[in-house]
Amino acid sequence: MAILITGVAGFIGSSLAKRLLNAGETVIGLDSMTDYYDPTLKQARLETLGTFRNFSFYRQDITDLDALDALCAKQKPRHIVHLAGQVGVRYSLTHPEEYVSANIVGSFHIIECAKRHKVEHLLMASTSSAYGANTSFPAMETDRADHPLTIYAASKRASELMAHSYSSLYDLPVTMMRFFTVYGPWGRPDMAPFLFLDAILNKRPIDVFNHGKMSRDFTFIDDLVISLQKLLNCPPIAGEPLGEFDSLSPVAPHRVVNIGNSDPVELMDFIRAIEKATGMQFQMNMKEMQAGDMVDTSADTRLLQALTGLKPATSVESGVRKLVHWYREFYNL
């Protein structure tokens, strides 16, 4: 019985797939290979997975319900890890319709197929941006998430709510995963860690928003995929909460879990870590805050620890060194 990973050519999807394949799991990968960022990077990630005999790949769009239903009928996945979708806070300001299509319509199709094919556990990617205008940190899964600041955050929150309704109606075990600023080798080129590194190694200036007065709960990719692997075997059971910090629904096997480092880092400290790892210095353009950005993010990870026994602990210094090493090797610098 296989594990279906949507968005398998993406940063997190490919990293998770590789870990599961190395553990002997059978993985079915699905990805539409959009050109939101350089498709050659996605293709390179896929090539690293193609060496495994227990991996199969389907180029499909999650907005095509019939094709998705046929795939699930053929492969009969035991678990689904839904990572596909339109990402990017700033892109959502100019292309909101793509978020409605991918993150709301596409996610609904995944949820519907999970119900139709009696999947044992559906794990779905959400985001720390769901906390929106909240000012209480570290953010707990039980905090209200009713004030999204972008259509990206709103679309992810909508997928959480749709999943809860199906979980309640059809007893479908669902874990929603709120990711906090994931970075590392094979990372997304549209995210700050990759953009900063690309700029410094190619001697270009970087834009630093809010004059650097921001912090992020940077989460190293290896810590995240280990957490996902553990969560696969922790499906929510209705009526069995772990404690007062548990986000388990009172009426459904539905749970929200933060996946972060629980140790926020000032943006300027992250920039200095890149300078140290590269032995170079940035040229910086200090700018005002951008619309839709959050000043700070910080995750309460007690629930993740209770479920998996894990606490992500890779330091920014260590994680950045590994990112720099991969980048120089991949781009022959």
Task: Just list the catalytic residues.
Answer: 152
Beta-bridge mates of residue 123: 81, 175
Beta-bridge mates of residue 182: 219
Beta strands in the chain (DSSP E): 3-6, 27-31, 55-59, 79-82, 121-127, 174-179, 182-183, 206-209, 215-216, 219-220, 254-259, 265-266, 284-287
**271 contacts 196 by C-beta, under 8 angstroms:** yes
Q: Residue 196: how many CB atoms within 10 A of its CB? A: 25
For residues 66 and 61, what is the distance between their CA atoms, to the nearest angstrom?
A: 10
Omega of the bond leading into 205 within 30 degrees of 0 (cis) = no
SS3 readout for 195-215? HHHHHHHCCCCEEEEHHHCCE
**178 contacts 163 by C-beta, under 8 angstroms:** no
Residue 307: φ, ψ to 5°: -80, -40
Contact residues for 272 (Cβ-Cβ < 8 A; gap 6+): none
For residues 231 and 28, what is the distance between their CA atoms, to the nearest angstrom?
A: 18
Beta-bridge mates of residue 268: none
Q: Tell me the three state secondary structure of residue 244.
A: coil
Residue whose tokens read 């999947």: 119
**234 contacts 312 by C-beta, under 8 angstroms:** no
